[in-house]
A and B are shown apart, each in its own frame.
Chain A
Amino acid sequence: MIPLLLISIPLLSGLAVLLLKDSPASKALSLVSSIATLALALVAVFSKGALHYDAAWLPALGSRFSLMQDGMAKMLCLLTAISFPVVFAATYNNSYQKSGAFYGLMLLTQAGLMGVFLASDALLFYFFWELALIPVYFLCSIWGGERRIAVTFKFFIYTFIGSLLMLIGILFVYSKTADHSFALASFYHVKLMAKEQAYVFALFFMAFAIKMPIFPLHTWQPDAYEQSPTATTMILSGVMVKMGIYAVIRWLLPMVPDAVSGHAMFVIILSVTGMIYASLIAIRQDDIKRLIAYSSIAHIGLMCAAIFVQNRIGLEGVMIQMFNHGVNVIGLWIVADVIEQQLGTRKMSELGGLAQKAPVLAVLLVLMALANVALPLTNAFVGEFLMFNGLFQYNVWITAIAGISIILAAVYTLNMIQKVFYGQVAEKVTNAVDLSFNTQLALGILVVLVLVMGLYPQPMINLTKDTVDAIFVQR
Chain B
Amino acid sequence: MNAIIVSALMGVVMMLSGILFQNKSLMKHLAAAGLILLLVANLLQSYGKYVIQVDTHNLLHFEQFGIFFNTIAIVATLIYVLLSGKDIENTGVHPAEYFALVFFVLCGVTILTSFNGLLMLFLGVEIMSIPLYILTGADKKNLKSNEASLKYLLMGSFSTGIMLMGIALIYGGSGSFGINPGTPELTVGGIPKVSYLTVSGLILLFVSMCFKVSAAPFHFWTPDVYDGAPSVFTSFMATVVKAAGFFAFMRLFESQSDLMGATWKILLSFVIIATLLIGNITAVFQQSVKRMLAYSSIAQAGFMLFALYAGNDLAKEGILLYAAAYSLATIGVFAVLIKMKDYTLDGFNGLAKTQPVLALATTICLLSLSGIPLTAGFFAKYYMLAAVVKAGGALWIVIVAVLFAAVSVYYYFRVIQAMYFKDGAAETSEITGGFKIGLLLVAGLIVLIGLLPSVLLNYFYF
To the question of whether A and B form a pair in one complex, the answer is yes
Contact with A along B182-197 (1 / 0, CB 8 A): 0000000000000000
A148 CB contacts on chain B under 8 angstroms: 421
Q: In the complex, what distance in Å separates the CA atom of A310 from the CA atom of B116?
A: 60
A375 at the interface (CB under 8 A from B): no
Are B417 and A149 touching (Cβ within 8 A)? yes
Contacts A126-B373, A134-B372, A168-B389; A160 near B421 (Cβ below 8 A): no
Q: Closest approach, in angstroms, between the C-beta of B42 and any C-beta of chain A?
A: 24
Determine whether B402 belongs to the interface, using a CB cutoff of 8 Å to chain A: yes
Whether the Cβ atoms of B420 and A142 lie closer than 8 Å is yes
Contact of B158 with A by CB under 8 A: no
Contact A149 B421 (CB under 8 A): yes
**What is the CB-to-nearest-CB distance from B60 to chain A, in angstroms, rounded to a whole number?**
30
What bracket does the count of chain B residues touching chain A fall in? 20 to 34
B409 at the interface (CB under 8 A from A): yes
Which stretch from B29-37, B201-209, B331-339, B452-460 is at the chain A interface? B452-460
Whether A131 touches B389, Cβ cut-off 8 Å, given contacts A160-B409, A165-B399, is no
Which of B402, B409, B417 has the most chain A CB atoms closer than 10 A to its own CB?
B402
Q: Shortest beta-carbon distance, B318 to chain A, in Å? A: 12
Q: Is B382 an interface residue (CB 8 A)?
A: yes
Q: Are B402 and A168 in contact, with the CB atoms below 8 A?
A: yes
Of all chain B residues, the one with the shortest Cβ separation from A140 is B421
Q: Given A127-B374, A142-B420, A164-B406 in contact, is the A171-B389 Cβ separation under 8 Å?
A: yes
Residues in B whose Cβ lies below 8 Å from that of A174: 386
Once the chains bind, are A141 and B395 in contact (CB under 8 Å)?
no
Choice from A127, A141, A164, A172 contacting B421 with Cβ under 8 Å: A141
Chain A residues in 8 Å Cβ range of B437: none
The contact of B395 among A57, A60, A149, A168, by CB within 8 Å, is A168
Q: Does B454 contact A60, Cβ atoms closer than 8 Å? A: yes
Which chain B residues lie closer than 8 Å to A167 at the CB level? Answer: 382, 385, 402
CB contacts under 8 Å to B, within A132-151, are 134, 138, 141-142, 148-149
Chain B residues touching A, majority SS: helix
Please tell me if B413 contacts chain A, counting CB pairs below 8 Å: yes
What B residues does A131 contact at CB under 8 A? 373-374
Q: How far is the CA of A130 from the CA of B386 in the complex (A)?
A: 18
Task: State whether A130 touches B421 (Cβ < 8 A).
Answer: no
Assembly CA distance A168 to B384 (angstroms): 11
**Do B413 and A172 have beta carbons less than 8 Å apart?**
no
CB closest chain-B residue, reference A199:
B395
**B270 in contact (CB, < 8 A):** no
Would you call B390 an interface residue if the criterion is a C-beta within 8 Å of the partner chain's C-beta atoms? Answer: yes
Cβ-neighbour of B409 out of A58, A157, A172 (below 8 A): A157
Tell me the chain B residues, 294-319 only, with Cβ under 8 Å from chain A.
none
Known: A157-B409, A167-B385, A175-B389. A141 touches B402 (CB 8 A): no
Count A/B pairs, Cβ under 8 Å: 69
**Contact of B403 with A by CB under 8 A:** yes
- CB pair A58–B382 under 8 Å, yes or no, is no
The docked-state distance in angstroms from the alpha carbon of A138 to that of B373 is: 16
* B308 CB to nearest chain A CB (Å): 19
* CB-nearest residue of chain A to B417: A149
A188 at interface (Cβ–Cβ under 8 A)?
A: no
- Could you say which residues of chain A place their CB within 8 Å of the CB of B9? none
Specify which chain B residues have a CB less than 8 angstroms from the CB of A160 in the assembled complex: 406, 409
Smallest CB gap from B404: residue in A: A164
A171–B453 touching, CB < 8 Å: no
A138 contacts which chain B residues (CB < 8 A)? 420
Q: B396 to nearest A CB, angstroms? A: 10
0/1 interface trace, chain A 368-382, chain B, CB 8 Å (1 if under): 000000000000000
Known contacts: A160-B406, A161-B403, A168-B395. The answer to whether A142 contacts B372 by CB under 8 A is no
User: Which residues of A188-224 have CB atoms within 8 Å of chain B's CB atoms?
Assistant: 199
Whether A153 is near chain B, meaning CB under 8 Å from some CB there, is: yes
Q: How far is the CA of A58 from the CA of B317 in the complex (A)?
A: 14
A161 near B406 (CB under 8 angstroms)?
yes
B453 in contact with A156 (CB, 8 Å) = no
Q: Which of B231-286 contact A (CB under 8 A)?
A: none
Q: Does B366 make an interface contact (CB < 8 A)?
A: no
Taking CB as reference atom, which chain A residue is nearest B389?
A171
Flag whether A59 is at the interface (Cβ < 8 A): yes
Whole-angstrom CA separation of A98 from B157 in the bound complex: 55
Q: Which residues in B have their C-beta under 8 angstroms from that of A134? A: 367, 372
CA–CA, A153 and B420, complex, Å: 13
Instruction: Provide the bound-state CA to CA distance between A175 and B417, in Å.
Output: 37
**7 A-B residue pairs with CB within 8 Å:** A142-B420, A142-B421, A160-B406, A160-B409, A168-B398, A168-B402, A175-B386
19 new A-B contacts at CB < 8 Å, known A153-B413, A171-B385: A57-B452, A59-B454, A60-B458, A126-B373, A127-B374, A130-B373, A131-B374, A141-B417, A141-B420, A141-B421, A142-B420, A149-B422, A156-B409, A156-B413, A157-B410, A161-B403, A164-B403, A165-B402, A171-B389
3 residue pairs, one from A and one from B, having the closest CB atoms: A164-B402, A130-B373, A161-B406
